[in-house]
Amino acid sequence: MHKTSQIVEASWLGRPSPQVAPELVGCCLVRLLPNGQLIKGLIVETEAYAPGDPACHAYRRRTARNAVMFGPPGFTYIYLIYGRYCCLNLVTDQDQVPSAVLIRALELEVFPESLGYPPPPALQRIAAGPGKLCQALKIDRSLSGQALQPDTGLWLEHRRDQFHQTLKQQTQLLVQTTRIGLSVGENLPWRWYLRTSPAVSRP
DNA sequence: TGAAGGATTTGT
DNA sequence: CAAATCCTTCAC
């Protein structure tokens, strides 16, 4: 018999984002489309954004756009970047502490044939980058502020035991480095990725 | 009301 | 390396 995947509860995200972000690597992001199609991928790259961090969208003050980051954990924060792409963040830490984790890349594991994704090796880079990830999972700003749970069509599953075993054996597997694309706060080492994954946006 | 700039991606 | 493209924020 096999163990069912455990859904991540909001309380698990209720910790500082630099603590949650590395632990999200290895978890699965699951998307259930309105038409019933299921897309699922292993998170292979994340970045943390936290209070006092000049690169955080909530650094200056609360606005209509970033308001959800000030709320309780377990919700999505999705914004439009460069007028073209959406980026998915998961709100972390306790209520009133504005912080989030940017999900930057996935290794797709489950997806419908009918979506027309290319064959490997191109398939492995379909969700390599925050904008491409949202494209692949059909995530846009209409999902921003939603709870991460099955009835919203977007949720998280905990790491499988096998992943923990691998992490234990391969000690250099999880790489910590600086974040990408910033003009401020670029020195903070708040990006994590799986060294061996072909889906990482920028190894 | 306007201007500057952005947690990206793609093609030159 | 620069363009695409539009939303958000901040200044006036």
Q: Phi and psi (nearest 5°) for A186?
A: -70, -10
> Quick one: which H or E segment has residue A90?
strand A85-91
Residue A170 makes CB contacts below 8 A (sequence gap 6+) with A196
The predicted model gives A24-50 an average pLDDT of 98
CA of A66, C1' of C3: distance in angstroms? 28
Residue A100 CA distance to nucleotide B9 C1' (Å)? 23
Contacts of A60 (CB under 8 A, 6+ apart): none
pLDDT, average across residues A26-31: 98
The 10 Å Cβ neighbour count of residue A18 is 21
CA A36 to chain centre: 22
| pLDDT-derived band at A132, boundaries 50, 70, 90 | very high
A70/B7 CA-to-C1' distance in Å = 17
pLDDT score recorded for residue A2: 54
- Percent of the residues in chain A that have a pLDDT greater than 90, as a whole number: 98
CA of A84: nucleotide with nearest C1': C5
**What's residue A5's pLDDT?**
82
User: What mean pLDDT comes out for the span A75-95?
Assistant: 98
Considering all nucleic acid strands, name the nucleotide whose C1' atom is nearest to the C-alpha of residue A180: B7
- Residue whose Cα is closest to the C1' of C10: A60
Mean pLDDT, to the nearest integer, of A168-192? Answer: 97
| Closest residue to C3 measured CA to C1′ | A82
pLDDT of residue A1: 57
Output the pLDDT for position A17.
98
Taking the C-alpha atoms of residue A162 and residue A157, their distance in angstroms, rounded to an integer, is 14
Share above pLDDT 70 across residues of chain A, in percent, rounded to a whole number: 98
Query: Does residue A3 register a pLDDT over 80?
Result: no
Q: How far is the CA of A115 from the C1' of B5 (A)?
A: 35
Q: How far is the CA of A40 from the C1' of C11 (A)?
A: 44
d(CA A51, CA A95): 12
Q: Which amino acid is at A139?
A: I
The number of beta carbons lying within 10 Å of the beta carbon of residue A191 is 21
pTM over 0.95: yes
Nucleotides of B under 7 A from a protein CB: 5-10
Structure tokens at A107: 């290794």
Residue A169 has pLDDT above 60, yes or no: yes
Q: Could you please report the per-residue DSSP string of A35-86?
A: TS-EEEEEEEEEEEE-TT-TTSTTSS---TTTGGGGS-SSBEEEEEETTTEE
Residues A193, A172: Cα–Cα separation, whole Å: 11
pLDDT of A141 > 80? The answer is yes
Closest CA-bearing residue to C1' of C8:
A65
